[in-house]
Amino acid sequence: MSTLEVRTGTAADLPGIHLAGARAFGDEAGPERIAEIDRLIPPARYVLGLDAGTVVGVTAVMPLRMTVPGRAQVRAAGIADVSVAATHRRRGILRQILSAQHHGLVEEGFALAALTASEGTIYGRFGYGPATVYQRVEIDRQHAAFRPGAPDPGGVRQTTAEQARGLLPAVHARWQSRTPGALHRSGAWWDWQLSDRPAERRGASALQFLVHPDGYATFRRAEGPRGRQARVVELVAATEDAHAALWRVLLGLDLVPTVVAELSPDDPLPFLLTDTRAARVTGARDGVWVRLLDVGAALAQRRYATELDVVIDVADGFLGRGGRFRLRGGPEGAECTRTDASADVHTDVSTLGSLHLGGHRVRTLHRAGLVGVHDPAVLDRLDLALVTDRAPVHGTDF
Ligand SMILES: CC(C)(COP(=O)(O)OP(=O)(O)OC[C@H]1O[C@@H](n2cnc3c(N)ncnc32)[C@H](O)[C@@H]1OP(=O)(O)O)[C@@H](O)C(=O)NCCC(=O)NCCS
């Protein structure tokens, strides 16, 4: 390989970028899909590695808006489309292009970056920590009965895709503004989310839509290992009534023995049923990964469940953005500045990423040796302060 050229993308690079993506991820995007990707990611948002003019490394960034604990809406850099050519792997190309990209994001003033990961072993070294969890559940409809007295508010109707396009964004925005980790969807994201081309359904039915004034569910019918099933693509509920009403319709669907869905770990569905085991957890996966690019700014953007005054020593081997920070915060506000005071807590930036949205407890990561404290009382305070009112959900894969 000649010397690797690392630079931002131009419109002329787009064919090479899309070819690299098709080769790395194995799915051939058609021209309409490519046009949608180009609306989401303009060429200058790519950082490329080129070998003799050929694109061999790609990383992109999408400016996102995320709700953080306390409900502030903050800018986040959404890292996407990461790949290195099969002929050029394990020579440090990913490290070079991510480094150029992340230093650029720091200069742009992003406090947070986020991504969804193809493998769990790649991004910790770059300062990312898995921050949210989805549980896969399978519900055997025959054994799933609603508990007597469980809410039955009704109010759900079926709509066409066209009607849904008009109704869903406002409901999603209400849900997004109150859910830690949730990402705002632009019009281009809605087009992406609802495009539903037959070639991209992988044998499942077209999307179907259930809409309530305060929520919605989208699902497909498909052939599962034990016969027909309904696969919930998303269920978004801004109120508990909407949640119960939508689940009542989903679990009442005829001709599907099972309903499968991905739920946040604190979803109340099992407790709406007479037998909590009817919503059987069959697996789990990480959702969004978070990286603090500006530790002080990011920790000051969120709120804390209880008052906190603590000095945290943060290691950041990738970007050198660590150091010692004094964090003073509570339910009403927070500030976080660099300090020379001695540290109460020692950790690294990827662990802070896992803690940032409240998806993992400080205590858990302390037990794993990732959060060091001298004084157990500090651990108690930090653990309680970072807890959120509900489990975080990012809601939009990117
Ligand atoms: C993942 C991928 C981008 C890595 O590119 P690469 O150029 O080989 O990575 P680098 O050589 O720069 O490696 C950087 C570091 O990550 C490690 N690494 C890279 N890929 C890894 C993997 N799949 N699993 C574990 N570690 C990995 C390397 O060992 C290296 O570690 P070190 O710098 O701490 O010694 C590339 O393998 C790829 O395109 N995979 C398929 C597409 C994909 O999964 N993309 C990610 C989408 S989220």
pLDDT averages per 10-residue partition of the chain, 398 residues: 90 96 88 90 97 97 97 98 97 98 98 97 98 97 95 98 97 98 95 90 95 98 92 98 98 95 98 97 97 98 98 98 98 98 98 98 98 97 97 96
Smallest Cα–Cα separation from 349: which of 297, 302, 268, 295?
Answer: 295
Overall CATH class of domain 134-286: alpha beta
Fold for the domain defined by 294-386:
Nonspecific Lipid-transfer Protein; Chain A (3.30.1050)
310: left (phi over 0), alpha (psi -120 to 50) or beta: beta
**Residue whose CA is at the smallest distance from ligand 1 atom 29:** 90
Query: pLDDT value at position 122?
Result: 97
Q: Does ligand 1 lie within 6 Å of residue 26's CB atom? A: no
Rounded Cα distance between 335 and 304, Å, is: 11
Domains 5-110 and 134-286 share a fold: yes
Q: Which of 123, 126, 209, 219 is catalytic?
A: 123
* 363 is known to lie in a ligand binding site: no
Q: What is the pLDDT of residue 69?
A: 98
95 a known binding residue?
yes
Tokens 């969807």 identify what position? 185
**Helices of type H across the chain:** 14-25, 31-40, 93-108, 161-178, 187-194, 240-250, 295-301, 349-356, 362-367, 376-386
Beta bridge partners of 7: 48
Comparing CA positions, the residue from 134, 160, 173 lying closest to residue 263 is 134
CATH 3.30.565.10 is right for the domain spanning 5-110:
no
Retrieve residue 96's tokens.
């070079």
Residues 8 and 97: their CA atoms lie apart, in Å, by 10
The pLDDT score that the predictor gives to residue 26 is 87
Phi then psi for residue 387, to 5 deg, are: -65, 145
Under the phi-then-psi rule, with left for phi > 0, alpha for psi from -120 to 50, and beta for the rest, what region is 323?
left
Domain positions in the chain: 5-110, 134-286, 294-386
Residue 1 confidence (pLDDT): 60
Known active-site residue 123: yes
CA 206 to CA 197: how far, in whole Å? 8
398 is catalytic: yes
- Distance separating alpha carbons of residues 77 and 126, to the nearest angstrom: 14
- For a pocket test of ligand 1, which of 61, 79, 95 has the largest count of ligand atoms closer than 8 A to its C-beta? 95
Q: How many CA atoms lie within 13 A of 67 on its CB side?
A: 25
> What separation in Å is there between the alpha carbon of 348 and the centre of ligand 1?
21
pLDDT for 30: 84
pLDDT at 225: 86
Residue 266 tokens read as 């604190």
Task: Decide: helix, strand or coil at residue 232.
Answer: strand
Give which of 241, 219, 274, 233 is closest to 156, Cα–Cα: 241
Q: What is the dihedral of CA 132, 138, 139, 143, to 10 degrees?
A: -130
Measured in Å, residue 49 CA sits from the centre of ligand 1 at: 14
Is residue 145 helix, strand or coil? Answer: coil
Is there a binding annotation on residue 342?
Answer: no
> Is 90 known to sit in a ligand binding site?
yes
Report CA(136)–ligand 1 centroid distance (Å). Answer: 27
